[in-house]
Amino acid sequence: MGILNVTPDSFSDGGQYLATEDAVSHALEMVSQGADMIDIGGESTRPGADEISVDDELKRVLPVIESLRDQSDVTISIDTSKADVMRAAIEAGANMINDVAALRMENALQTAAELDVPVCLMHMQGEPRTMQQSPYYDAGVVSEVKAFLADRIEAAIDAGIKRSNLLIDPGFGFGKTLQHNYQLLAGLNDFSDLGLPILVGLSRKSMIGNLLNTDVGDRLAGSLAAAVIAVHNGANVLRVHDVRETSQAVEVIHACHEANNLINP
């Protein structure tokens, strides 16, 4: 899943793809590099980010979705928590919803059920503006995040969303300390018990930069290491900035897994 932020303030690529032509060109480039999905977001969810209106979010994402859909049949994911944005984006040609709030916003559950498209439910402690202010997990981050996702899966199914349309995301960097993030990565296999595809977003995040003392533009090696560990521990979808490099890394680990299956059938 290639990341395409049409925002002025996202932590890595904010401001780079505000023009529709630039955004679509970058999306097509990521497709050529191996992206199976393009995740388009119009509102930054970085720590401390300001909330924007539905109208502003739609003005950013709809022209990009429409233009990309005219030029490619790639799966388009809309990265939003707002029901009105979900509906408009799907009508414009998006195929999937990626919600950092796990359908907890007003009308989100009902809207997702009506749209009948795949939905990724992500864990976030708090909200983007405050989530990194002393995050804490009494029972341990892996068990609490897993319990939250189990509850949201149940809520989604109760609302009429097909289980086959659900994915889960433990929410790296969303209300987690550095230690929490690496505990989640090490314990990612535990989420397989929920029986759904696991999507992870680790690319260029502060859990890489703070560990290695590198800025956003110098986190490729750490991001690739995290991606390989995630796949080894059960991740099915990687949400990334560096598509070509990550695709190559994943190809190597898949070859290793296939070889192991031949050695130990």
Which tens digit of pLDDT belongs to each residue from 121-135? 999 987 766 666 778
Looking at residues 154-168, what average pLDDT do you find?
A: 98
3-state helix, strand, coil in the chain (%, to 5): 50, 15, 40
pLDDT of residue 13: 56
CB 198 within 8 A of CB 235: yes
Query: Where do the domains of the chain lie, and which CATH numbers do they carry?
Result: 2-263 (3.20.20.20)
Q: Are 40 and 25 in contact (CB under 8 A)?
A: no
Task: Give the pLDDT of residue 257.
Answer: 86
CA dist 62 → 6, 76, 112 (Å): 10, 12, 18
Q: What is the mean pLDDT of the chain?
A: 93
What pLDDT does 90 receive?
98
DSSP reduced 3-state for 204? coil
pLDDT higher than threshold 70 for residue 10: no
Q: Are 74 and 31 in contact (CB under 8 A)?
A: yes
For 88-121, the pLDDT digits (tens) are 999 999 999 999 999 999 999 999 999 999 999 9
Is the pLDDT at 156 greater than 70? The verdict is: yes
Contact 223, 242 (CB under 8 A): yes
Cα separation, 229 vs 31, in Å, equals 23
Residues recognised as catalytic: 205, 239
Higher pLDDT, 89 or 11: 89
User: Which pLDDT value is given to residue 19?
Assistant: 86
Residue 153 pLDDT > 80: yes
d(C-alpha 68, C-alpha 94), whole Å: 9
157 alpha-carbon distance from chain centroid:
21
Q: What is the mean pLDDT of residues 21-30?
A: 95
Q: In sequence order, which residues have a C-beta less than 8 Å from that of residue 20 and are 6 or more positions away?
A: 63, 64, 67
The pLDDT score that the predictor gives to residue 11 is 52
Q: How far is CA 245 from CA 3, 173, 203, 225, 265, in A?
A: 14, 22, 11, 11, 30
Q: What is the pLDDT of residue 114?
A: 98
Averaged pLDDT, 209-235 = 96
The better pLDDT of the pair 240, 7 is held by: 240
- Give the three-class secondary structure for 173: coil
Report pLDDT for 127.
76
Average pLDDT over residues 224-245: 97
- Joined together, the tokens standing for residue 215 give 């800025």
Inform me whether the pLDDT recorded for 225 exceeds 90: yes
What's the pLDDT at 130? 67
pLDDT of residue 229: 96
Residues 13-29, mean pLDDT to the nearest whole number = 82
pLDDT over 60 at 241, yes or no: yes
- pLDDT of amino acid 15: 56
On the question of pLDDT at 55 being above 80, the answer is yes
Question: What mean pLDDT is predicted for residues 176-181?
Answer: 95
Asked if the model's pLDDT at residue 236 lies above 80, the reply is: yes
Question: pLDDT at position 200, please?
Answer: 98
* Cα–Cα distance for residue pair 40/79, rounded to 1 Å: 6
- Round to whole Å and give the CA distance between 43 and 79: 8
DSSP state letters, 30-76: HHHTT-SEEEEESS--STTPPP--HHHHHHHHHHHHHHHHHH---EE
Please say whether the beta carbons of 38 and 75 come within 8 A: yes
